[in-house]
Amino acid sequence: MQDAFEISMKGELNFFFGLQIKQTRDDVFINQRKYIKDLPKKFRMEHVKEADTPMEISTKLYMDENGKNIDIIKYRGMISSFLYLIASRSNIMFRVCL
C-alpha cells in the first residue's frame, strides 16, 4: 500500500475508520466484520431478537403517548453508525432503502 499511496506511518495497516484491512503481496482486502460485530455491543443490543427484515412494509407507526422517552444522543449515534456502514456496503444499502 505504501508503494501506491503516500503514507507516513510505517508497518502494515490493519484498521482504518472501522475498516479491517488485509494486505497480501498482490491484493488489498477490506471488510467491516469487526465494525459490524462491535455495533450491538456499543449500543447495548447484544441480546435483541434478530430479523431478516427490519419491519413489515405495511406496518403503521403510531405515537405512544404513555411510552418512555428515547435517548436522542444514543438514537443519533445509532443512525450515524448505520449510515456509515451502509454508505460503503451497497447490498445493505439496497435492503435498508427498499
What are the start-end ranges of the E strands in 18-65? 19-23, 28-31
51-60 tens-digit pLDDT: 776 677 788 8
Q: d(Cα 28, Cα 40) in Å, to the nearest integer?
A: 27
Whole-number Å distance between alpha carbons of 13 and 22: 8
Q: How many angstroms from the chain centroid is the CA of residue 27?
A: 24
Can you give the pLDDT at residue 77?
92
HSE-up of residue 10 (Cα within 13 Å, Cβ side): 0
State the pLDDT confidence band at 73, using cuts at 50, 70 and 90: very high
Helix 72-87 to helix 90-97 angle (10° resolution) is 130
What is the average per-residue pLDDT within 66-75? 87
